[in-house]
Amino acid sequence: MIHKKETVAGQEHGEVLLEHDSDGSVEVLSQNSTITYEIGDHVYRWQSFLGVPFHTQQHGIVVACESDSIILALVRKQYAFDSGVIDTVLKDDADAEFCMFRERIPLHEARESWHKIPYGVPWTKRLFTRAGTANPINADPVEEVMSRIAFVWKNSALLRNMGMEHTSEKDISECVVVWCKTGNFHSYHGLAKVGHHGADMGSNATMAGSIVSQIVASAVVPIAAPVFVVYDLANTVKSMRASQQCQKEWRRITWEWNDRYSVTKTLKAESHDDPTQREEDQSTTEHSVAN
């Protein structure tokens, strides 16, 4: 049901019609596109790395929708003396740690850069999607997602020293967001980067696709077969080991976070048996995350 409508001037798209639903979502309508942001949405944007476009992804969750902007909960690295303009070379990882931030994104900017990630997408519809842009598992209810965000926000120690041995720091934001959405610490984009082809489709497929492609090439150029096979097998084994190490690490973190989160929920339920107090606590949690 529509709450209200208003028209604002977009900086690059002319007039934009905003529709506010009773559930707090904001729908952006223009002549060329319709984008709806809702609380709990998993969003991402592409980022370049060393001049290479579409190399990494920054992930976040929508925690509030306003008339002209959305507020995201983001996880990224924070340096001890980071003013936002320090040269990367001068940054010392020994003084850095991962933190959760809230960032306000104007709607016109969100429409251009921040893309929503659907959940529960069947594998047939993920065949031609990039890893980390459509996830196979179903997301938990929004209330549970917001509760997990509040848990991470209040337990910032969970994010410290997250530069783990096997998990690339560029994948941490996706891992945290996926955990908030599903209770599973996981990076689909990260698995694809270490060579786990199945991650692109959200499946459990292995590296067989790479081997098959080289077998086809060796059939065309038989003399090159030994080189192709040896090179590909070596890289396949290396990629599979990296993938297994990442997934083992993620399973450990998943168990640890879920265990602590479960204990926190149990203690909260025991200390707030009164329904009125539970409503007040829920309101306080939502306010702390959104602001």
Query: Which of 235, 250, 249 lies closest to 194, judged by CA?
Result: 235
Residue 112: partners with Cβ closer than 8 Å, 6 or more residues away = 12
Are 61 and 90 part of one and the same domain?
Answer: yes
What domain range is 13 assigned to?
Answer: 1-37
Same domain, 56 and 4: no
Do residues 70 and 201 both lie within one domain?
yes
Q: What tens digit of pLDDT does each residue of 71-115 get? A: 999 998 876 655 544 444 444 555 668 889 999 999 999 999 999
Q: How many domains does the chain have?
A: 2
pLDDT at 25 over 60: no
Torsion of CA 60, 61, 67, 69, to 10 degrees: -10
Per-residue confidence (pLDDT) for residue 27, from 0 to 100: 43
Average pLDDT across the chain, whole number: 70
pLDDT of residue 289: 54
Task: Name the range with the highest mean pLDDT among 16-20, 93-97, 105-109, 230-234.
Answer: 105-109
Whose tokens are 């992804």? That residue is 57
If asked whether residues 3 and 127 sit together in one domain, one would say no
> Are 54 and 184 members of one domain?
yes
Whether residues 112 and 62 share a domain: the answer is yes
Residue that wins the pLDDT comparison between 88 and 36: 36
How high is the pLDDT of residue 16?
40
* Cβ-based neighbours of 94, under 8 Å, separated by 6 or more: none
Are residues 90 and 107 both part of a single domain? yes
Same domain, 127 and 17: no
In this structure, of 16-30, 60-74, 198-212, the range with the lowest mean pLDDT score is 198-212
The whole-number pLDDT of residue 220 equals 44
Region 42-58: mean pLDDT is: 81
The pTM score is 0.66
Residues 208 and 158 in one domain: yes
Q: In three state form, how does the secondary structure of 157-216 look?
A: HHHCCCCCCCCCHHHHHHHHHHHHHHCCCCCHHHHHHCCCCHHHHCCCCCCHHHHHHHHH
Q: Which of 200, 198, 184, 177 is nearest to 44 (CA)?
A: 177
User: Same domain, yes or no, for 27 and 111?
Assistant: no
Six-digit token pair at 160? 């410290």
Which residue in 37, 15, 33 sits closest to 24, CA to CA? 37
Q: What is the pLDDT of residue 61?
A: 97
Return the pLDDT at 259.
Answer: 96
Is the domain of 114 the same as that of 73? yes
SS (H, E, C) 34-91: EEEECCCCEEEEEEEECCEEEEEEEEEEEEEECCCEEEEEEEEEEECCCCCCCCHHHC
DSSP 204-248: ---THHHHHHHHHHHHHSGGGHHHHHHHHHHHHHHHHHHHHHHHH
**Nearest Cα residue to 104 out of 133, 65, 143, 142:** 65
User: Is the domain of 152 the same as that of 180?
Assistant: yes
